[in-house]
Amino acid sequence: MADLTEISNFEAGIYQLETTDAVQGGLNGISNLASNQLANRTLFLKNQADAHALAADPHPQYLTPDEALLLSDSPAYRDVLVISMPTTLTPADLNRLIVFNSTVATDVNLPSIALCPIGSVFAFKNMSATSSIELVANGTDVFDGVSLANVITIQPSQTLLIAAGEIVVGGVLATWLIVEKANESPKFSGVVNISTSTTLSAQEANKLIIINDQIGLINLELPLRELLPTGARYYFKNNSPTFNAVVRCDSLGDGVDSFDNVNNSTVITLLPGETFVIAAGEAISNPAIANRKWLVTSGTANFSGGVVGAQAWQNMTATRLENVNYTNSTGRNIFLNLLANRNIIANGELIVIVDGLSIVIAWSSINSNDGPVAGSIIIPNGAVYSASSSNGAIIAWHEFR
Residue 165 has pLDDT above 60, yes or no: yes
pLDDT at residue 325, rounded to an integer: 93
Do 266 and 344 belong together in one domain? Answer: no
Do 69 and 160 belong together in one domain? Answer: yes
| Average pLDDT for 375-390 | 83
Do 13 and 40 belong together in one domain? Answer: yes
Residue 151 has pLDDT above 50, yes or no: yes
Ranges assigned E (strand) in 320-379: 326-327, 334-340, 348-354, 357-364, 373-379
370 has which bridge partners? none
Structure confidence at residue 71 as a pLDDT band (50, 70, 90) = very low
Residue 169 has pLDDT above 60, yes or no: no
Domain containing residue 241: CATH number: 2.60.120.640
Q: Which of 345, 396, 401 lies closest to 373 in space, CA to CA?
A: 396
Phi, then psi, of 97 in degrees rounded to 5: -90, 115
Domain containing residue 147: CATH number: 2.60.120
Boundary-marking domain end, from 310, 325, 360: 310
Do 89 and 164 belong together in one domain? Answer: yes
Do 285 and 333 belong together in one domain? Answer: no
Do 211 and 275 belong together in one domain? Answer: yes
Could you give the CA distance from residue 142 to residue 166 in angstroms, rounded to a whole number? 11
Q: With beta carbons less than 8 A apart as the criterion, state whether 349 and 374 touch.
A: no
Residue 182 has pLDDT above 50, yes or no: no
Do 180 and 271 belong together in one domain? Answer: no
- Of 27-36, 57-66, 160-169, which one has max mean pLDDT? 27-36
Boundary-marking domain end, from 187, 206, 230: 187
Boundary-marking domain end, from 277, 310, 343: 310
DSSP-derived letter for residue 149 is: B
What type of residue sits at position 190?
G
Structure confidence at residue 386 as a pLDDT band (50, 70, 90) = very high
> Which carries the bigger pLDDT value, residue 198 or residue 250?
198
Residue 144 has pLDDT above 80, yes or no: no
Residue 76 has pLDDT above 60, yes or no: no
Could you give the CA distance from residue 9 to residue 70 in angstroms, rounded to a whole number? 39
Q: How many domains does the chain have?
A: 4
- For 148, the enclosing helix (H) or strand (E) is none
Dump pLDDT digits (tens) for 269-295.
777 777 777 777 655 545 555 556 777
Do 238 and 166 belong together in one domain? Answer: no
- Which strand ranges, in their side-by-side order, compose the sheet holding 151-154? 87-88, 106-109, 133-136, 151-154
Do 86 and 157 belong together in one domain? Answer: yes
Dump pLDDT digits (tens) for 342-374.
654 456 678 899 888 888 887 766 555 556 777
Dump pLDDT digits (tens) for 43-53.
888 888 887 77
Do 70 and 180 belong together in one domain? Answer: yes
> Which carries the bigger pLDDT value, residue 264 or residue 229?
229
| Average pLDDT for 33-48 | 85
Q: With beta carbons less than 8 A apart as the criterion, state whether 351 and 387 touch.
A: yes
pTM over 0.75: no
Do 323 and 267 belong together in one domain? Answer: no
Do 32 and 44 belong together in one domain? Answer: yes
Residue range of the domain that includes 101: 63-187
| Average pLDDT for 33-44 | 85
Could you give the 3-state DSSP secondary structure of residue 327? strand
> Which carries the bigger pLDDT value, residue 283 or residue 202?
202
